[in-house]
């Protein structure tokens, strides 16, 4: 029996290449919880827990993810058989309420262990991949129209991205529409432009915004209403001239079922972290497919570990009508993998090696770990200012 010997967790803070502006916060670094499950047979697996802007976005933060895993998960898992991830996740769900991001990180590490031990890609454990490459969009989130246009044009020229998402909702509606419309006009018919409101609008604003954005050539609006307003999302999806996507409203299979039942969206953003794990996210995707709702591979701006896991999951879906946004590692100034993920020709290549198919650059991880002596001193000085 390959028992679990230890579970290690580290918060790793990596700067971003530019500020990433959302309707509720702005981030200039991404804080990731890297999880390593170590087993008695020498096999170890990796997982990641990452949020966008900490508690400004949702009810988990890097600090709470690490605390939950160290204090509550580890005692339930150490000494157990690592070859039984489903049973171990059931044990966690029976003993710990919520904490989906933490559960996803640990489940990913457990599956990584099993797949590495078997010598197969993680996607094989999820039913087998149907795609080796996944289309990936880029988020334009500076808020400056000229900068965003220049950034998008550079991405197209480099054949890295030709689909773009704009973060809007902080400014008046007319300003946001003017911003989105200007970018769409500049990029032309060869590029798709979408917007993400991150729950910032009320229903009246969303109805007006959908009409105006549709006239501007925008293809989709992501989560325009608060996550609890399911009825409003259904009314909006029924009347809007462009597609409406559910994101923050999807926190697992129960949400997915309820939203699908009233058609509260034309697309579902599939995020393993929000769903509570890879298996839960696969079930959310199955509910969407059964309801003829388009799939989209969403991101919490995960680094390379979480992005690799999401890529394995998304590769198993028959269709991804709206593509993916698995660009998180590209937003960071430094790579923490020994061999970076491959982004070429507007797509991400799904790793083919055993497990996640990745290895950490241990020196980089040590450099960016929050508990590294030099990092701790810097952060304490910043907090004191």
Domain that holds residue 43: 4-121+360-375
At residue 29, the pLDDT reads: 87
Q: How far is Cα 83 from Cα 267, in angstroms, rounded to an integer?
A: 34
Residues 111 and 197 reside in one and the same domain:
no
97 within domain boundaries: yes
CATH number of the domain enclosing 316 = 3.20.20.120
Same-domain check for residues 241 and 272: yes
Answer whether 148's CB lies under 8 Å from 176's CB. Answer: no
* Domain shared by 156 and 99, yes or no: no
CATH of the domain at 109: 3.30.390.10
Order of strands, sheet of 133-135, starting from the edge strand that comes earlier in the sequence: 133-135, 347-349, 343-344
Q: For residues 28 and 57, what is the distance between their CA atoms, to the nearest angstrom?
A: 15
Q: Is residue 196 part of a domain?
A: yes
pTM: 0.93
Residue 380 maps to a domain? no
Residues 281 and 147 in one domain: yes
Q: In terms of domains, do 214 and 344 share one?
A: yes
d(CA 149, CA 176): 14
CA distances, 31 to each of 155, 164, 369, 378 (Å): 25, 24, 10, 15
Contact 89, 77 (CB under 8 A): no
Any domain includes 171: yes
As for how many domains the chain has, the answer is 2
41 and 111 share a domain?
A: yes
pLDDT score, position 54: 74
Domain shared by 100 and 180, yes or no: no
Q: Specify whether 170 is catalytic.
A: no
What lies within 8 Å, CB to CB, of 34 at 6+ separation is 9, 10, 12, 46, 47, 48, 305, 336, 360, 365
User: Are both 206 and 287 inside the same structural domain?
Assistant: yes
Asked whether 299 and 310 are in contact (CB, 8 A), the reply is: yes
Mean pLDDT, the chain cut into blocks of 10 residues (385 residues total): 96 88 72 97 97 81 97 98 97 97 98 98 97 97 92 96 95 97 97 96 98 98 97 98 97 97 98 97 98 97 97 98 97 96 98 98 96 59 54
Establish if 193 belongs to a structural domain: yes
Q: Assess whether 113 and 83 both reside in one domain.
A: yes
Q: Which of 29, 71, 26, 70 is nearest to 50 (CA)?
A: 29
Would you mind telling me the total number of residues written for the chain in this entry? 385
Give me the helices (H) in the chain, please.
62-68, 74-77, 85-95, 100-118, 122-125, 145-157, 173-187, 203-215, 230-239, 253-261, 272-275, 278-290, 304-314, 362-368, 373-384
pLDDT of 374 reads 56
Q: Looking at the structure, do residues 38 and 165 belong to the same domain, yes or no?
A: no
Catalytic residue among 103, 165, 167, 184: 167
**Residue 385 confidence (pLDDT):** 52
Please check whether residues 117 and 235 belong to one and the same domain: no
Structural domain includes residue 385: no
Assigned domain for 308 exists: yes
Same domain, 63 and 109: yes
- Is residue 382, in this structure, part of any structural domain at all? no
């Amino acid at each position: 029996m390959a028992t679990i010997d230890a579970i290690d967790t580290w918060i790793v803070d990596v700067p971003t290449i530019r500020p990433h502006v959302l309707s509720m916060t702005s981030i200039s670094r991404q804080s990731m919880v890297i999880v390593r499950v170590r087993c008695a047979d020498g096999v170890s697996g990796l997982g990641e827990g990452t949020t966008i802007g900490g508690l400004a976005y949702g009810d988990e933060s890097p600090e709470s993810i690490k605390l939950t895993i160290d204090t509550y998960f580890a005692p339930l898992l150490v000494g157990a058989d690592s070859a039984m991830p489903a049973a171990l996740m059931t044990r966690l769900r029976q003993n710990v309420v919520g904490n989906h991001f933490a559960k996803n990180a640990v489940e990913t590490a457990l599956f990584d262990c099993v797949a590495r031990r078997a010598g197969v890609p993680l996607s094989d454990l999820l039913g087998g991949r149907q795609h080796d490459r996944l289309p990936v969009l880029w988020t334009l989130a500076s808020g400056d129209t000229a900068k965003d246009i220049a950034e998008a044009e550079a991405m197209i020229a480099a054949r890295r991205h030709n689909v773009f998402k704009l973060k809007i909702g902080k400014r008046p509606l007319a300003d946001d529409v003017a911003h989105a419309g200007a970018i769409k006009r500049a990029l032309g018919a060869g590029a798709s432009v979408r917007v993400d409101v991150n729950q910032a609008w009320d229903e009246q604003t969303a109805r007006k915004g959908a009409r105006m954005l549709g006239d501007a050539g925008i293809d989709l609006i992501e989560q325009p209403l608060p996550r609890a307003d399911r009825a409003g999302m259904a009314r909006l999806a029924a009347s809007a001239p462009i597609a409406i996507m559910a994101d923050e409203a999807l926190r697992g299979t129960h949400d997915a079922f309820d939203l699908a039942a009233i058609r509260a969206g034309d697309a579902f953003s599939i995020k393993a972290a929000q769903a509570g794990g890879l298996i839960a996210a696969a079930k959310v995707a199955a509910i969407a497919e059964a309801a003829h709702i388009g799939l989209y591979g969403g991101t919490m701006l995960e680094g390379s570990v979480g992005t690799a896991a999401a890529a394995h999951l998304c590769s198993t879906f028959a269709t991804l009508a709206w593509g993916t946004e698995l660009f998180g590692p590209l937003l960071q100034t430094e790579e923490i993998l020994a061999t970076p993920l491959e982004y070429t020709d507007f797509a991400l290549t799904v790793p083919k090696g055993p497990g996640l198919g990745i290895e950490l650059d241990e020196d980089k991880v040590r450099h960016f770990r929050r508990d590294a002596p030099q990092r701790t001193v810097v952060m304490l000085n910043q907090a004191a200012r």
